[in-house]
């Protein structure tokens, strides 16, 4: 439906109001004009949907039963997760369940969701296992949606696909590749043309995440990777809230309030093993549990959760006796509904979008000032950083609100304050006699990815800045990048685009500087919807490897001897002249030294002389002794003379 056709559905007063206010936009900045025009456009679309919306849904649920599920879901937790989803579907929904491995089987026939259909679905879920040889995703998508043709009205079409593997129809890799190509080139365009939304759950790291993400992103669906089958129940809850768009009331401190306009309430209470049974305390009544539930309460107890539906609940404050869980819910059937604009499943970090909330009663927008003036609407963001402060949605014509008093409460949501990853926006409305709640799950993704990695021997860093082509138009991307040191000085980087490669590439020479610096990237681009965004990436810190220059050794110049002037000999002062006692002491000391010197020399001479005499005398004695020993006792010559 065109904007002109939507405006024809407005009263003449509403159209005139828009034209009158458009004059005031001329004095505003271009950015503000864009935001306000975007708000008006979304408001027109929102109002058109609000007035003619039919909330009936057509849901096709596809469950993988291939053999690999024995490892990824050994406890068959697909069964209670499917029963949870089945129990949450409203009576304004038609649904069917298909299982697929090598073959595709209709597990639960397509039909209108009522108590009989839910009972058949719960019984049939017990037969879900892992008997399949292959993973025929193509066959499951084709067979489950083959009856869709023409426009979807009066139903919203949705597919929920759970798998843990790749496209696998044969041992022949070529046949598997051909099957995947048919999904992307034939089945996916057909689903998009039929205005079907595909939500995908990958129950394994080995699943074909590229295919799962492509199916979801192309059709505006939700994609999520699940590391553990224990998480399936809460993932199915998030997907149900996108498919079923239930009305809800806040559950705070395990208490919730029911007003007179509510005809049915469904409580979902997650329960850990080993805890006491869940109990419900009605206003001015006695507590009851699954075994003592009164007439009008249908209680389903399953692995990990309790789900109970209360028909015609009593108005007032109800209490839940169970452990607190942030994913517990109270969903209601009521004629007094809060409706909000829908956020994209993937938000671009840095992008700001309008959120508009309004109220309808028996299908008609509420415009009464008496009602609008006493309603307070606020929004709280929850993500990995925690919970933000509540922000008001306004209907006073200020800030992001286009027109005061029109029943559309508005605020701008997003910007640089959003953290990457999965988050949740919780919108609460409070009036004198009622409360309402709306939850919107979203994923925040940066428009560009900065990748810094070592190159070569580590002295160079490779810098890659790659755009997310699913979020922005790569041809519109303009990049600024720089290094910033501790003092705040900036050093521009000039990454360049490479032919046949997405994004821009560059290098940083770590040997060119010392110390720590931060790489900062600023991206300006057009989104796929045509809006311009500016994104400033979180800095990446790097450290330079340049060595400090050695300090030069400076030798001091030789000192030249300075001429020394002859100092005059000072005349002795009277006090410096030695007296007679000093001279006598000096003479006495000299005499003593001379005497000692003489005595020492005399001793040395005597010692040397004595030693010389002793040695000589000993030698002489030795010589005499030797002569005596050589002579005979009788001299023969003497004996001859004597004869």
Q: Using one digit for the tens of pLDDT, what is the confidence trace for 269-298?
A: 999 988 999 999 999 889 999 999 999 999
pLDDT in tens, 436-478: 999 999 999 999 999 998 987 778 888 999 999 889 999 899 9
**Same-domain status, 89 and 198:** yes
**Same-domain status, 102 and 239:** yes
Is 590 domain-assigned? no
**Same-domain status, 401 and 474:** no
Examine the pLDDT at 570 and tell me if it is beyond 70.
no
Token pair for residue 483?
């290094």
For the segment 501-511, the average pLDDT, to the nearest whole number, is: 85
Instruction: Answer with the one of 445, 471, 488 that is the final residue of a domain.
Output: 445
Q: What are residue 480's DSSP bridge partners?
A: 522
Residue 330 in contact with residue 263, Cβ under 8 Å?
no
Is 604 domain-assigned? no
pTM of the model: 0.75
Q: Output the CA–CA distances (angstroms, integers) from residue 31 to 35, 208, 529, in the order listed.
A: 6, 40, 16
Distance CA 542, CA 310 (A): 59
Token pair for residue 202?
């990958």
Q: What are residue 169's DSSP bridge partners?
A: none
**Same-domain status, 92 and 188:** yes
Residue 282, pLDDT score: 97
Q: Output the CA–CA distances (angstroms, integers) from residue 19 to 259, 421, 622, in the order listed.
A: 39, 40, 152
Is the model more confident about 414 or about 299? 299
**Same-domain status, 253 and 218:** no
Backbone angles phi, psi at 372, to 5 degrees: -65, -35
Residue 567, pLDDT score: 55
Is 594 domain-assigned? no
Strand spans (E) along 384-536? 386-387, 391-393, 409-414, 421-430, 435-445, 448-455, 460-467, 478-485, 490-493, 496-497, 504-509, 514-526, 532-536
Residue 35, pLDDT score: 45
Residue 403 per-residue DSSP state: S
For the segment 604-626, the average pLDDT, to the nearest whole number, is: 48
Examine the pLDDT at 30 and tell me if it is beyond 80.
no
Distance CA 633, CA 643 (A): 18
**Same-domain status, 408 and 524:** no
Residues sharing a CB contact under 8 Å with residue 380, sequence separation 6 or more, in sequence order? 387, 388, 389, 390, 391, 425, 426, 428
Distance CA 190, CA 185 (A): 9
Q: Which helix (H) or strand (E) holds 613?
A: helix 580-630
Look at residue 12 and give its three-state secondary structure: helix
Q: Output the CA–CA distances (angstroms, integers) from residue 188 to 195, 214, 611, in the order listed.
A: 11, 9, 128
For the segment 425-429, the average pLDDT, to the nearest whole number, is: 97
Domain residues for 292?
A: 247-334
Is 628 domain-assigned? no
**Same-domain status, 190 and 65:** yes
Distance CA 618, CA 627 (A): 15
Examine the pLDDT at 637 and tell me if it is beyond 80.
no
Residue 639, pLDDT score: 40
Compute CA 133 distance to the chain's CA centroid, rounded to the nearest angstrom.
36
Instruction: Answer with the one of 274, 309, 334 that is the final residue of a domain.
Output: 334
Residue 153, pLDDT score: 83
Residue 332 in contact with residue 438, Cβ under 8 Å?
no
Q: Which helix (H) or strand (E) holds 365?
A: strand 364-365
Residue by residue, DSSP assigns 437-457 as EEEEEEEEE-SEEEEEEEETT
pLDDT in tens, 183-213: 999 999 999 999 999 999 999 988 999 999 9
**Same-domain status, 69 and 193:** yes
**Same-domain status, 286 and 395:** no
The CATH number of whichever domain residue 365 belongs to comes to 2.60.40.1930
For the segment 556-564, the average pLDDT, to the nearest whole number, is: 64
- For residue 413, give the nearest of 28, 29, 39, 30 by alpha carbon: 39
Residue 641 per-residue DSSP state: H
Examine the pLDDT at 335 and tell me if it is beyond 80.
yes
Looking at the chain, the whole-number percentage of residues with pLDDT higher than 90 is 61
Is 507 domain-assigned? yes
Residue 315, pLDDT score: 97
Confidence of residue 15 (pLDDT cuts 50, 70, 90): very low
User: CB 338: neighbour CB atoms within 10 A?
Assistant: 22
- For residue 81, give the nearest of 238, 224, 194 by alpha carbon: 238
Q: Output the CA–CA distances (angstroms, integers) from residue 153 to 58, 141, 149, 269, in the order listed.
A: 10, 21, 11, 34
Residue 350, pLDDT score: 84
Token pair for residue 322?
């169970």
Do strands 297-302 and 247-248 pair parallel, antiparallel, or not at all (unpaired)?
unpaired
- For residue 40, give the nearest of 267, 469, 381, 356 by alpha carbon: 356
The domain total for the chain is: 4
Confidence of residue 19 (pLDDT cuts 50, 70, 90): very low
What is the 3-class SS of 304-342, one letter each residue?
CEEEEEEECCCCEEEEEECCCCCCCEEEEEECEEEEECC
**Same-domain status, 199 and 66:** yes
Is 620 domain-assigned? no
Residue 435, pLDDT score: 97
Mean pLDDT, the chain, as a whole number?
A: 82
Examine the pLDDT at 589 and tell me if it is beyond 90.
no
Residue 223, pLDDT score: 96
Look at residue 405 and give its three-state secondary structure: coil
Do strands 196-202 and 156-163 pair parallel, antiparallel, or not at all (unpaired)?
parallel
**Same-domain status, 129 and 234:** yes
The CATH number of whichever domain residue 179 belongs to comes to 3.40.50.410
Is the model more confident about 351 or about 104? 104
The CATH number of whichever domain residue 505 belongs to comes to 2.60.40.10
Examine the pLDDT at 496 and tell me if it is beyond 60.
yes
The CATH number of whichever domain residue 269 belongs to comes to 2.60.40
Is 295 domain-assigned? yes
pLDDT in tens, 141-179: 999 999 999 888 889 999 999 999 899 999 999 999 999
Residue 32, pLDDT score: 46
* Sign for the pseudo-dihedral over CA of 592, 593, 594, 599: positive
Instruction: Answer with the one of 395, 417, 445 that is the final residue of a domain.
Output: 445
Residue 191 in contact with residue 144, Cβ under 8 Å?
no
Look at residue 565 and give its three-state secondary structure: coil
Distance CA 599, CA 595 (A): 6
Q: Which residue has the tokens 């009576």?
A: 91
Do strands 514-526 and 504-509 pair parallel, antiparallel, or not at all (unpaired)?
unpaired
Backbone angles phi, psi at 237, to 5 degrees: -60, -45
Examine the pLDDT at 99 and tell me if it is beyond 90.
yes
Confidence of residue 538 (pLDDT cuts 50, 70, 90): confident
Q: Which helix (H) or strand (E) holds 595?
A: helix 580-630
CA angle 253, 238, 126 (to 5 degrees): 105
pLDDT in tens, 209-230: 999 999 999 999 999 999 889 9
**Same-domain status, 209 and 86:** yes
Is 618 domain-assigned? no
């Amino acid at each position: 439906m065109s904007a002109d056709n939507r405006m024809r559905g407005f009263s003449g007063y509403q159209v005139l109001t828009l034209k009158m206010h458009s004059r005031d936009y001329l004095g505003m900045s271009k950015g503000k004009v864009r935001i306000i025009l975007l708000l008006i456009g979304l408001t027109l679309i929102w109002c058109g949907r609000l007035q003619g919306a039919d909330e009936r849904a057509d849901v096709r649920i596809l469950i993988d039963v291939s053999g690999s599920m024995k490892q990824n879901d050994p406890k068959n937790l697909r069964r209670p997760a499917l029963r949870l989803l089945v129990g949450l579907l409203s009576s304004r929904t038609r649904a069917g369940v298909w299982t697929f491995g090598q073959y595709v089987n209709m597990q639960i026939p397509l039909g209108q969701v009522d108590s009989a259909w839910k009972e058949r679905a719960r019984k049939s879920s017990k037969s879900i296992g892992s008997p399949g040889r292959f993973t025929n995703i193509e066959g499951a998508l084709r067979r489950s949606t083959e009856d869709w043709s023409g426009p979807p009205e009066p139903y919203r079409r949705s597919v929920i696909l759970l798998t843990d593997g790749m496209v696998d129809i044969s041992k022949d890799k070529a046949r598997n590749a051909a099957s995947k190509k048919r999904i992307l080139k034939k089945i996916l365009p057909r689903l998009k043309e039929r205005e079907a939304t595909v939500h995908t759950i990958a129950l394994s790291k080995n699943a074909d995440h590229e295919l799962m993400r492509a199916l979801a992103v192309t059709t505006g669906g939700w994609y999520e990777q699940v590391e553990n089958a224990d998480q399936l129940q809460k993932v199915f809850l998030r997907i149900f809230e996108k498919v079923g768009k239930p009305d809800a009331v806040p559950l705070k401190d395990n208490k919730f309030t029911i007003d007179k306009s509510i005809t049915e309430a469904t409580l979902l209470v997650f329960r850990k093993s080993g805890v006491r049974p869940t109990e419900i305390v009605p206003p001015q009544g006695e507590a009851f549990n699954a075994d003592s539930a009164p007439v009008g309460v249908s209680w389903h107890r399953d692995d990990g959760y309790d789900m109970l539906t209360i028909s015609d609940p009593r108005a007032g404050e109800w209490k839940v006796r169970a452990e607190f869980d942030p994913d517990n819910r109270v969903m209601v059937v009521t004629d007094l509904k809060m409706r909000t604009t829908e956020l994209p499943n993937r938000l671009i970090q840095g992008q700001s979008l309008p959120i508009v909330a309004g109220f309808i009663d028996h299908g008609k927008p509420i415009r009464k000032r008496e009602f609008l003036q006493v309603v307070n609407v606020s929004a709280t963001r929850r993500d990995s950083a925690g919970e933000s402060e509540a922000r008001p949605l306004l209907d006073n014509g200020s800030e992001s609100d286009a027109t005061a008093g029109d029943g559309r409460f508005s605020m701008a949501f997003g910007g640089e304050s959003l953290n990457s990853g999965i988050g949740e926006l919780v919108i609460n409305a409070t009036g004198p006699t009622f409360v309402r709640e709306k939850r919107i799950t979203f994923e925040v993704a940066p428009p560009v990815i900065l990748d810094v990695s070592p190159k070569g021997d580590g002295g160079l860093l490779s810098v890659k800045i790659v755009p997310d082509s699913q979020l922005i138009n790569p041809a519109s991307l303009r990049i600024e990048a720089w290094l910033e040191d501790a003092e705040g000085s900036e050093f521009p980087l000039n990454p360049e685009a490479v032919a046949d490669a997405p994004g821009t590439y560059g290098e940083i020479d770590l040997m060119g500087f010392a110390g720590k610096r931060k790489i900062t990237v600023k991206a300006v681009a057009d989104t796929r919807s045509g809006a311009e965004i500016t994104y400033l990436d979180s800095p990446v810190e790097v450290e330079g490897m340049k060595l400090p220059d050695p300090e030069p050794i400076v030798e001091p110049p030789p000192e030249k001897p300075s001429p020394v002037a002859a100092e005059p000999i000072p005349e002795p002062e009277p006090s410096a002249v030695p007296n007679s006692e000093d001279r006598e002491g000096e003479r006495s000391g000299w005499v003593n030294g001379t005497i000692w010197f003489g005595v020492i020399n005399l001793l040395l001479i005597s010692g040397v002389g004595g030693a010389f005499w002793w040695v000589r005398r000993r030698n002489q004695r030795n010589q005499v002794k030797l002569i005596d020993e050589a002579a005979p006792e009788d001299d023969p010559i003497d004996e001859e003379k004597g004869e």
